[in-house]
A and B are shown apart, each in its own frame.
Chain A
Amino acid sequence: MASSTMAGAHDHPRGLRRFLFSTNHKDIGTLYIILGSVGGVIGFLLSLGMRLELAYPGVQIFPGLAEALQGADPSMALDAGKNLYNVFITVHGVLMIFFMAMPILIGGFGNWFVPIMIGAPDMAFPRLNNISFWLLFSSLVLAVISMFVEGAPGMKGFGGGWTFYPPLSSNTGSPGPAMDFVILALHLAGASSILGAINFITTIFNMRAPGMTLHKMPLFVWSILVTAFLLLLVLPVLAGCVTMLLTDRNFGTMFYDPAGGGDPLLFQHLLWFFGHPEVYIVILPGFGIISQIVSTFSKKPVFGYLGMAYAMVSIGVLGSIVWAHHMYTVGLSLNAQRYFTLATMVIAVPTGIKIFSWIATMWGGSISFRAPMVWAIGFIFVFTMGGITGVVLANASADKQFHEGYYVVAHFHYTLSLGAVFALYAGFYYWFPKMTGYMYSETLAKANFWLLFIGVNIVFFPQHFLGLGGMPRRYIDYPDAYALWNLVSSSGMIFVTLSLIVWFYAIIEAFMKKRLAGANPWGVGATTLEWTLSSPPPFHQFQVLPRITGTAR
């Protein structure tokens, strides 16, 4: 490539300067992936704690954990343990959404591959990119600190679930500063994402290489574009929502306090106006990644490209007008519940289009089952499982039986813990050779897949039974009748833990063995621009802009 010979002409900082002050989209992408991996591992350890506790009825490990982690007094250990369990569920949710899925999918893969895929040398605002990352890092620090300062009276950390509903999150439930730390963490994470979204939208609209029309962009770029618009639309609402909570807590306002004419439901409406699009923010980049991978390994262009792109746009639009389906039990009027039921069910249509188009892409293809493809097929299946239980929960009438129970837990973990995470792993194994230049062991990558696939299905499938039976979520202890499926569910964590170990080993092994991947390890199916560059790509790519003449894919 012409670009690689020119690389020396530009500044190429090393060491601390290269990463701390980085303005290079690939280095910042790498930082995001590392941050997301750290967040994901902490989030996983929290869930391991929860599943260990729930393996048997009774309270076993959290009192001890509270003594060890938070220095709780032994006489108070039981109460501190119950509180710590709630802190775990809260921080697990916050970490997995804001510090694992979003950083890796949007900040990591988005930063790395959006500019390359559209033929741009870098992001539009490189310094903005840097501050986006470090804001998120600061946010993570605040979120972790919140676990160790007072929340509920005499207790450490905020334990009210990642949705932070007042009055539990206001001075009534958590007068201590833990919740303030969480609010500030959300502010920073929100600002980081808003700046990132501005950067992506500007880059995609203004920096496409000659010939790269919007309708020729790879679907991953489309997915990031839709995601960036969603972020820009809903994160300011979250910021306003938690700022009002902050002033309620500290400056005597009463936005959410009925004693002063406020209403706790206002918070829920605002939170979910952000929160529901947020789940699409997490899954849409996954859709983009899966489209690239299915096409690459079927050696066929994506089936129904325009349908796929506009299905994502319509999922984004519809996803923004269905928020109150998280609130079917708050006492909404009959008509409101009717509307939200019908609107929510409509989302199944574009989602179905995506699932069928992926299968149609494989149809007639010449499929090679390399590791990323295996992850992608796994994704299609588990995401379908999560999608169909979503159709059940869309019905306000059926939701009354499942709301805040384990059926819901199973549903959203099938879409996110399995769906988004499988897409993330698929992307990781797809682009790892490009990002590092080294090829991983195919066997280890597939072992990672099977261990995680078996593990998460054992963990989450029985949770449907628990939910049908009536087990509420966010419980540290449960009636003995739920013991069997809880034990089965917890036992799946053995496989999940092993899969993580295999994942680490696969990375270490790849760096030790240094098998060179070459520019394009995937063959004729890999037609997007990143495969025309060396692996790893030069520090600055496309000094001479590529000219796009082919058709869309």
Chain B
Amino acid sequence: MFNVNRQMLTRGALAAAVAIPATLFAGFALAQVEGQPTPGGLGLPNMVTPVGLGTQQFYNMVLMPIISFIALFVLGLLVYVSYRFNEQKNPIPSKLTHNTPLEIVWTLIPVLILLFISVPSLRLLAEQVEVPEASVTIKVTGNQWYWSYKYPEDQGGGFGFDQMLKPESELQPGDLRLLSVDNEAVVPVNEVIAVHITSNDVIHAFGVPSFGVRMDAIPGRLNQTWFKIEKEGVYYGQCFFICGKDHAYMPIVIRAVSREKYNEWLAEAKQKFASADSRVRVAAESH
């Protein structure tokens, strides 16, 4: 009887040990929507660009295992020496103060680990920094506290618009607080998009986590980055450099659509944003 109970208890505990994390992870997986942060998420978002996927692979397959191993190794050593060499167990301390081979080993092994990390790291870096031939170029300008976008004339654009946070009172079902905006920036899927980034006032930073892209918007400089979205969808980003009181209130929304839909949007947007500054137009309308 007693034995059975113990067995059941063990089995119950085991089941709980497996089930609780499994449910948690399943919950996370269910809640995960591409392009937006996952409630209670533990890792990187699902990436949708080659650079993003490269970052994900580099972090999940190279960095994360290595640093976890080192942390556990050091923790293990600390626990072991604390247990093995406490003064009850080992009343007479040794006089050991040098061991040249050991010192060489713990200098060389970290060097090898770092060399191993640097290979994929530098490969990914070159991919991020060298912008390939782009079919669409957009110019993004940071302002206190919103983003402006310009689509160049020779690529079917010739208009610009501001992207402002949707206030909480105007949120529709499906909108995200602090992330949804009035005008989404639309780009075609599966094409290389070059982004030119600058600022009108203070420093901002343009960042979209599921693209693996983060680039500062600095007045007087034109920075360049790129992404190629491999999946249609709506992708959210935020300002990543402190820019004053409404730093947390200038999100970024990029919608990736098929080439046909993109062309349709271009035509519509050309009408809608005909005036150089959409805010001026909206303000004029409301009078």
Contact = CB atoms under 8 A, between A and B. Distances in A.
A167 B78 contact: no
A86 B247 contact: yes
Contacts of B209: 401, 469-470
Contacts of A165: 203, 241
Nearest to B247: A474
Contacts of A259: 220
Nearest to A480: B177
Given A392-B59, A397-B125, A362 B81 contact: yes
Contacts of A513: none
B248 A477 contact: yes
A381 interface: yes
Contacts of A20: none
A534 B247 CA distance: 56
A346 B44 CA distance: 26
Interface residues of A, number: 94
A55 interface: no
A303 interface: yes
A478 B248 contact: yes
Interface in A256-283: 258-259, 262-265
B118 A360 contact: no
A352 B110 contact: yes
B256 interface: no
B214 A400 contact: yes
B74 A355 contact: yes
B242 A329 contact: no
B219 A167 contact: yes
Contact of B70 (A329, A331, A384, A396): A384
Contacts of B224: 331
Interface in B74-107: 74-75, 77-78, 81-82, 85-87, 90-99, 102-103, 106-107
B37 A470 contact: yes
Nearest to B236: A479
B213 interface: yes
Contacts of A303: 96-99
A345 to B, nearest CB: 5
Contacts of B214: 329, 400-401, 403-404
Contacts of B177: 57, 479-480
B178 interface: yes
B22 interface: no
Contacts of B95: 300-301
Interface of B: 36-45, 54-55, 58-59, 63, 66-67, 70-71, 74-75, 77-78, 81-82, 85-87, 90-99, 102-103, 106-107, 110-111, 114, 117-118, 121-122, 124-126, 128-130, 176-179, 201-203, 205, 207, 209-210, 212-216, 218-221, 223-224, 236, 238-249
16 contacts: A161-B242, A168-B242, A300-B97, A301-B97, A303-B97, A334-B129, A341-B122, A349-B107, A364-B94, A367-B86, A384-B71, A392-B63, A395-B125, A465-B41, A465-B43, A469-B43
Interface of A: 57, 79, 82-83, 86, 89, 152, 155, 159-161, 165, 167-168, 172-173, 258-259, 262-265, 298-305, 307, 329-331, 333-334, 337-338, 341-342, 345-346, 348-349, 352-353, 355-356, 359-360, 362-369, 377, 380-381, 384-385, 388-389, 391-392, 395-398, 400-401, 403-405, 465, 468-472, 474-485
